[in-house]
């Protein structure tokens, strides 16, 4: 079984899915001949031609709008937004048109558009190349929101997104694009959107995260186990909408404690919604309040990136606070 990083796994999946479904097309800034700024689309234009993999003008609103129109004509477009920070010029098209297409047409038309974009910090990109905007789209019914955290997940989740019939915001953690490697099967497989993964079983406290943050969570859980004999159950959401709330409820009912961690600013982050749902559904089983750990409520800094991000040390301290509450 070959070892791949996330970029290689995404490229491998696109190659396979393009061969499987000739309705797929992909476009964005520099994603044609150049292969994308992170090289995810390398070789696609050469193999499948300029009609299926091509460059777009520097206009995110135009990229998304063009994708919506293509979807209405029977194609399955993949819109690449070069950085998640650049997605906001296309926000109106996403939340007012793409997300509402099925509803506004009484289910006569779908909008099977996948919007791919690298997100998050870790590369010293400053405030225009480091944001985590997932919560912006979770307030909009009609959108699936998926965040990958490994090469294996990248292949299985992207395949599911491309085979579905609903719009998907597909976020890829550029911090670990190349650094994280693991075995990825060459054969076809999918990971269902809406199914969380229990990456580590435990009995004392539940730790929830997604994307690149999942690896900081795992590091904190392992450190806590060796230093304090605290047994942490770590859940990787994979999909934020639909949310696998049943998996979270089962875990919290077992442990009685919960910490949610994410890169995005803590205030109004998706961790607040998870905390609210757990309080509603698990209140009588909780031994402590649900605790959130997130990025700072500031623009994303460049020189102070390490202080901004919720690293394993901050997560570990939050877990200790909850267990000792």
Of 88, 41, 33, which Cα lies nearest the Cα of 60? Answer: 88
Residues with a known catalytic role: 129
Pair 2, 183: CB distance under 8 Å:
yes
**If you search the block for the tokens 């077992």, which residue do you land on?**
254
- Cα separation, 174 vs 151, in Å, equals 12
Token representation of residue 94: 């996403």
Q: How many CB atoms lie within 10 A of CB 304?
A: 11
Token representation of residue 288: 């402590």
Q: Which residues pair with 206 in a beta bridge?
A: 233, 258
**If you search the block for the tokens 């267990």, which residue do you land on?**
323
- Cα separation, 320 vs 316, in Å, equals 6
Tell me how many degrees the CA angle 157-161-167 measures, rounded to the nearest 5: 140
Tell me how many degrees the CA angle 237-195-38 measures, rounded to the nearest 5: 60
List the alpha helices (DSSP H) in 119-190: 134-138, 151-163
Token representation of residue 240: 């934020």
- Cα separation, 152 vs 98, in Å, equals 28
- Cα separation, 30 vs 294, in Å, equals 32
């Amino acid at each position: 079984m070959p070892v791949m990083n996330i970029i290689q796994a995404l490229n491998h999946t696109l190659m396979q899915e393009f061969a499987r479904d000739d309705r797929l097309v992909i476009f964005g800034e520099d994603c044609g001949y150049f292969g994308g700024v992170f090289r995810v689309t390398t070789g696609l234009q050469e193999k499948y031609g300029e009609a299926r993999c091509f460059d777009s003008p520097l206009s995110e609103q135009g990229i998304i709008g063009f994708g919506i129109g293509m979807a209405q004509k029977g194609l399955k477009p993949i819109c690449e937004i070069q950085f998640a920070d650049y997605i906001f010029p296309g926000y109106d098209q996403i939340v007012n048109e793409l997300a509402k297409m099925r509803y506004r047409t009484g289910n006569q038309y779908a909008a099977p558009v996948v919007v791919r974009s690298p997100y998050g910090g870790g590369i010293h990109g400053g405030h225009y190349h480091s944001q985590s905007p997932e919560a912006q789209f979770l307030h909009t019914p009609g959108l699936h929101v998926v965040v990958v955290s490994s090469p294996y997940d990248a292949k299985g989740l992207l395949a599911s997104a491309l085979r579905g019939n609903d719009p998907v915001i597909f976020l890829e953690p550029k911090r670990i694009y190349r650094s994280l490697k693991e075995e990825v099967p060459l054969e076809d497989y999918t990971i269902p959107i809406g199914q969380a993964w229990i990456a580590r079983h435990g009995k004392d406290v539940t730790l929830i995260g997604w994307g690149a943050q999942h690896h900081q969570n795992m590091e904190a859980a392992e450190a806590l186990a060796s230093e304090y004999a605290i047994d942490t159950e770590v859940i990787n959401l994979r999909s934020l909408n639909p949310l696998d709330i049943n998996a979270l409820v089962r875990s919290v009912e077992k442990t009685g404690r919960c910490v949610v961690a994410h890169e995005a600013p803590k205030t109004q982050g998706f961790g607040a919604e998870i905390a609210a749902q757990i309080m509603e559904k698990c209140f009588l089983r909780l031994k402590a309040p649900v605790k959130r750990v997130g990025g700072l409520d500031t623009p994303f800094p460049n020189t102070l990136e390490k202080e901004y991000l919720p690293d394993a040390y901050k997560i570990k301290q939050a877990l200790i606070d909850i267990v000792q509450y």
